[in-house]
Structures are given as C-alpha cells and as structure tokens.
Chains A and B, each alone.
Chain A
Amino acid sequence: MFVQTLLTGLAIGGIYALMAVGYSLVFSILNFSNFAYGSIIMLAAYISYFAMTKLGAPISLAVILSILGAAALCFLNERLAYSPLRKRRASSLFFMISAMGTAIFLENLVYAVVGAHFYAFPAVFTRTNLSFFGASIAVLDLFAIIFSAITIFALHMFLQKSRTGIAIRAASYDIQVCSLNGVNNGALIGLVFGLAGGLAGVSGTFLGMKYIVYPTMGWITNKAYIAAVIGGLGSLPGAVVGGILLGVLETFVSAYVSSVIRDVFSFSLLVLLLMVMPTGLFGRFLEEKV
C-alpha cells in the first residue's frame, strides 16, 4: 500500500512539477501569478485530444502539436492581455484581473463552442500496468514521470547554457537591469511565455490522458501555485521539488485519511506555509509590486 501510494503520488507529482515550473517561469520574471495558465493547460489537452481523434495523429505528433499550440496561445495571451498593462506600469491588481478575465473567457468559450462533454483520450499504451516492488504502476504514469523529468532537464540545460537562457535567469533577478544590458525585454517576456506554454503542452496532454478532458480542468493549476510556494517562490528547482512533494503528500492524505479533504488539505498547507515559512524550501520571497 505504501509503495503503491508513493508511486501514484510521484506520477501526479511529476505533472504538478511541470505545471509549477511553467507557472514559476513567468512568476520569477514578472512577479505575478498568471491565473490564465490553467486555461492554457486545458487548451493544450484539447489540442492533443482533437489531434489524436480528428486528425488521427499518433501520440508523439499530438504532443508536439499541443506544445506548439499552447506556446502560441500563451504568447498571444501575454501580448494581448498583459503587455498593454506592462507598458502602462499597471499595478499587480490589474494584471490579476486581466488574467482572471482571460481564464474565464477561455474556459467558457470552450464550454460554449465545444460543449461540456468530458472527453477521454484513446488508449495509448497496450500494456496498462507494470509491476514494481509489489505495487503496480500504470505505464502512462511511468511514461509521464520519465517524460516530465526529461522536459525539466532540457529546460534546465537551456537556462544554464544558452545565451537566451542566461538572459531569462538574469531577468528573474532584475528585469530592469537586463534591459540596461541590452536585452530586449519585450521579446524576452514573449519567449518566456512561449516556453511556459510549451510546458503546458506537455502537462496538459498528460493530465488529459491520465484523467479526462473538460473545460474547467485548468483549475488544477491551483496545485501549481501551492507547489511553487512549497518549493519557494521564484525558484525553478523549488517548483520541481514542490510539485513532487505536493503530489506525494496529497496522495498519501487521500489514501490514508480521506479523499474528500484532499483539496482542503492542500489549500490549508498553502495558507500555513505562507504564514509560517513564506520563502518555502528554496525561494526568495518576492515583495509585491505596488
């Protein structure tokens, strides 16, 4: 039971980690929570679902389309809904409202246009479960863990080694100094959103495959915010650790205590952490932009 719960927790933790990293990328640069990120994840799931069912694409192509599509949408979101505010130096309150508006708009647009049906992904793996130390793990989950790990590693390499990646890391410390050093801030921010969108493409697809696809599935991104706080706001490695930790803890609570209070547990954990240890495990607590 213990190993089983742990494995299930790791699987969902991997997905949380992906979402948390995407969220933290934007957060660390702009110091704001992109509440519309969840709807991008949701759209990514729809993209890969329809790619597979309507276009008959294999899973690999579906994921690629999803990554590209989500990256484009996330980039557009920034350009249309946030950059006018950024140019005006609006306070964080306005960004939040704009993000919320975008989320509401996208979710309900999908409801209205596509419908409220729940869509289940076609089965991808022929063998559904593998045995592992007396517990079974879904092949899908194992695949999700491995793929998440690869994606995060690739991102890590990009941020550490490439010039653009270094620019992004510099921007997360002080974006104004960056532009003084010749970095084109607007382009950089667009790129970061694109990256976050790409990550959403992966996490959205896996979420859709693991569970089901429906318009409000983006609300699971709340877990990403919690994971980011656990790991430490502003820290990307923290987001990964936070995501995995949250996934595991949640699953244990769900299995050993009660599944009904799972979400209440997570939110309570969030509030408790913010009160007691706001910097989380690795983070620098970022002051709100007034």
Chain B
Amino acid sequence: MYQYITGVISLGLIYVIATVGLSVFTGYTGLFSLGHAAFFAIGAYTAAILTYFYGFNFYLALALGAAAGGLVGFLIGWPTLKAKLRTDYFAIATLGFGEAIRVLLENLPITQGARGLPGIRGETTLPVLVVAAALTIWLAWNLIHSRHGRASIAIREDFVAAEMMGVNVFMGRLRSLTFSAASAGLAGGLFAHYFCFIQPSMFTSYMSTQMTAAVVAGGMGSISGPVIATLIFIGIPEALRVANIWRLVAYGLLLVLIMIYRPQGLMGYRELSLDMIRGWYRRVLKGGKP
C-alpha cells in the first residue's frame, strides 16, 4: 500500500515539475504549447542515453537532460517567436514540432526507435523528486516575482500594451519557453529513471493535453494552482480507478466549463497562502465571511 501511495506521489511530482514550467509559459506568458511532451521526451532520452550507454552520473545526466530540453526550446522558439505568430498558429506550429520530434525519436539509431530503451537505472527516488520539485517551484516563483516575470505577465495580459511599456515581447516569450522546456526536460529525465523504460509512444499529445489542462484548471497566473491541479488530476483517477478515457472526457469538459464559468481557474491570479487558508478555516468554523 505504501509502495502504491509513494508511486502515485512520485508520478504526481514528476508532472508537477513539468507543469510548473508550462505554467510559466502558458499561464504567465499566454502562449500554448501543444507539443510540450516533446521537451519531456528530449529530456528523458538525453538523460537515459547518457546513463545507459555512457555511464554518466545520474544528477549530471538530469542536468544535461534539462539543458537539452531548454536548448531545443530556445532553438525552436527563436524563429517561431520572432515571426510573431498569433497564439493559435503558434500552437499549431508546436504541434508540428511535437510531430517532428516523434518522427526523429522513432528513426534515430541511438534511441532504438519504436522499441524504446529498456533497462534504465532506477535512480529516481521520492527524496530526489521532492528536492527537484521544490527547486523548480522555487526558481519559477523567483522568476515570476522579478521584473522578467512581470514582463511575461504583461505580455499575456496585452502584448501591445506591454510593448508600449518597454517590454521586449520576443525575448520575454523566448525566456518563458526556454524555462518551461528545460523544466519539462528535467521532468523527463526523472521519468525515464523512474519507469526504467521509455519509448516514443509514451510521449503523446495526451501528456501535453493533461499538462495544459492542469495549468488552465489550476489558474493561469498562479503556480500553486497548477501544482494542486496536477496532483488532483493524477491522484483522483488513481483513487477512483477511473479508466483513462473517461478522464480525458472530463478534462475536455472541464476546460470548456472553466472558460465559461471560472476562467481564472482554481487559484485565479493568486497563490495559495497562509491568509487564504486562515480565511477558509474561519469561514468553515464560523459559517460565514470573516
């Protein structure tokens, strides 16, 4: 039982790392990445290949996996963001990118194609995940509360006005994309060393969809929101033993309902804070507004 619970928490933390990164990109900068699973895959394969074929140190491999993800994000981002693609076409372009990576992974000799890479060292433990998640959240939080983070928020709110406030829209978007790609890469590396086996078909649009849904449901403009949403998305189906397919039906419906009735998601533009918890506590205890 303990094994099972730690398993669910571990999976949840892996996704939290990737989702926090994505929330910086989608939630704070306002652009969609429908092929984000590709960065996850790049991190997974880079880290796995380094430890499996070349005997690299686990932590170094993780760092390089994250760096690989970030680098690819930067390289893809430069031309596509320079072109100032509208949000919807940028999303379509990311889809194409995801597709390109999939083709690549299935056809390069070193990745062993569709067969995948088995026998990866299982070095991802719960303590490692907790530290990695805390680190990612800390970095993201610092970024958001700095002038660079504010630039991203301004871009999401109104990129025309942001430009008129001296924000370099291209650089702001590129920064966010690179950070989110790197964190997805880190999550991927951890993923590979947790399941000890990876193949291209594991990194599908389903994964990208779940991450985007968690960001939207958790609240664009919040970090704690997507963290909570991710844990709920991973945790509840496991608890209820609901089949995968219905989970996706629920995600789809949830996205539409959120857009119509509560576009700010769970946390809105705020973070979970002590004041907030105290406020709920008082309300529940006293049965009314404090």
Contact A108 B91 (CB under 8 A): no
A98 near B255 with CB under 8 A, answer yes
Contact of B92 with A by CB under 8 A: yes
* Cβ contact within 8 Å between B259 and A98: yes
Size band of the A side of the interface? 35 or more
| Of A90, A104, A271, A288, the contact of B209 (CB 8 Å cutoff) | A104
* Cβ–Cβ < 8 Å partners of A268 in chain B: 96, 100
Asked whether, in the complex, the Cβ of A101 is within 8 Å of the Cβ of B256, the reply is: yes
Find the residue from B82, B246, B254, B260 having the highest chain A CB count within 10 A: B260
B254/A109 in contact, CB under 8 A? no
Number of interface residues of B (CB under 8 A): 45
Option from B79, B92, B97, B252 in Cβ contact (under 8 Å) with A102: B252
Contact B91 A96 (CB under 8 A): yes
Q: What is the minimal beta-carbon distance from A224 to any residue of chain B, in angstroms?
A: 10
Q: Which residue of A lies closest to B83 (CB)?
A: A275
A275→B93 CA distance, assembly (Å): 11
Name the distance in Å between B273's Cβ and chain A's nearest Cβ. 26
A33, B88: Cβ atoms under 8 Å? yes
Instruction: Point out which of A32, A33, A92, A93 has the most chain B C-beta atoms below 10 A from its C-beta.
Output: A93
Does A290 lie at the interface of the complex (its beta carbon under 8 Å from any beta carbon of B)? yes
The CB with the most chain A CB atoms within 10 A, among B86, B103, B216, B249, is that of: B86
Q: How far is the CA of A104 from the CA of B206 in the complex (A)?
A: 9
How many angstroms from the CA of A32 to the CA of B263 in the assembled complex? 18
Prevailing SS type, chain A contact patch: helix
Q: Which residues 202-255 of A have a CB within 8 angstroms of B?
A: 222, 225-226, 229
Smallest Cβ distance from B140 to chain A, in angstroms?
20
Return the chain B residue nearest A112 by Cβ: B245
| Beta-carbon contact of A112 and B246 below 8 Å | yes
Chain A positions 121-138 with a Cβ under 8 Å from a chain B Cβ:
none
Contact of B96 among A94, A97, A112, A264 (CB under 8 A): A264
Asked if A101 and B92 make an inter-chain contact with CB atoms under 8 angstroms apart, the answer reads: no
The answer, yes or no, to whether A52 is at the interface (CB within 8 Å) is: no
B residues within 8 A CB of A271? 79-80, 83, 93, 96
Q: Hey, which chain A residues are within 8 Å of B212, CB to CB?
A: 100
The 8 Å CB contact of B93, one of A97, A260, A270, is A270
Instruction: Say whether B67 faces chain A, with CB atoms less than 8 Å apart.
Output: no
Docked Cα-Cα span, A288 to B100, in Å, equals 27
How far apart are the CA atoms of A134 and B19 in the complex, in Å?
Answer: 56
Question: Shortest CB–CB separation between residue B75 and chain A, in angstroms?
Answer: 13
Is B65 part of the contact surface with A, judged by Cβ < 8 Å?
Answer: no
CB contact between A101 and one of B159, B160, B246, B252 (< 8 Å): that residue: B252
- Residues on B with C-beta less than 8 A from A153 are none
> Among residues 25 to 41 in chain A, which have CB atoms less than 8 Å away from a CB atom of chain B?
32-33, 35
Question: With an 8 A cutoff between CB atoms, is A111 at the interface?
Answer: yes
Cβ contact of A222, chosen from B32, B95, B213, cutoff 8 A: B95
How far is it, in angstroms, between the C-alpha of A112 and the C-alpha of B216 when the chains are bound?
24
**Cβ-defined partner of A275 (8 Å) among B34, B82, B259:** B82
Q: Is B252 a contact partner of A84 (Cβ separation < 8 A)? A: no
Could you tell me if B87 and A92 are in contact, using CB atoms closer than 8 angstroms? yes
Q: Which residue of B lies closest to A268 (CB)?
A: B96
Report B25-55 residues with CB < 8 Å from chain A CB.
30, 32, 34
What is the CA–CA distance of A172 and B186 in the complex, to the nearest angstrom? 45
User: A105 touching B253 by the CB < 8 A rule?
Assistant: yes
Specify which chain B residues have a CB less than 8 angstroms from the CB of A267 in the assembled complex. 92-93, 95-97, 99-100
Contacts A96-B87, A267-B99 hold; do A104 and B255 have CB atoms under 8 A apart?
yes
Do the beta carbons of A288 and B86 come within 8 Å of each other?
yes
Per-residue CB contact flags for chain B residues 220-261 toward chain A (1 = under 8 Å, else 0) read: 000000000000000000000001011011011111101110
Are A264 and B100 closer than 8 Å at their CB atoms? yes
Bound complex: CA of A112 vs CA of B254, how far in Å?
Answer: 17
- Does A106 make an interface contact (CB < 8 A)? yes
Q: State the CA gap A32–B88 with chains docked (Å).
A: 8
Whether the Cβ atoms of B259 and A108 lie closer than 8 Å is: no
Question: Are B252 and A103 neighbours in the complex by a CB distance under 8 Å?
Answer: yes
Q: Is B131 in contact with chain A by the CB < 8 A criterion?
A: no
Any chain A CB within 8 A of the CB of B89? yes
Are B256 and A102 in contact (CB-based, < 8 A)? Answer: yes
Tell me if B79 and A101 are in contact (CB < 8 A). Answer: no
List of B residues within 8 angstroms of A225 by Cβ: 89, 92
User: Does A177 count as interface, using CB distance less than 8 angstroms?
Assistant: no
- Contact between B159 and A94 (Cβ–Cβ < 8 Å)? no
The residue on B at minimum CB distance from A271 is B93
Asked if A98 and B256 make an inter-chain contact with CB atoms under 8 angstroms apart, the answer reads yes
| A and B contact pairs by CB, cutoff 8 A, 21 listed | A35-B88, A81-B260, A97-B258, A97-B259, A100-B212, A101-B254, A101-B258, A103-B252, A104-B251, A105-B256, A108-B252, A111-B245, A226-B92, A263-B103, A266-B96, A267-B96, A268-B100, A271-B96, A274-B85, A275-B80, A290-B159
Q: Which 6 A-B pairs have the closest CB atoms?
A: A267-B96, A101-B255, A105-B252, A104-B252, A33-B88, A275-B83
* Other A-B pairs, 7, CB within 8 Å; known A261-B103, A267-B93: A33-B88, A93-B87, A94-B259, A112-B245, A260-B107, A267-B100, A270-B93
A-binding residues in B (CB < 8 A): 30, 32, 34, 79-80, 82-83, 85-89, 91-93, 95-97, 99-100, 103, 107, 156, 158-160, 209, 212-213, 216, 243, 245-246, 248-249, 251-256, 258-260, 263
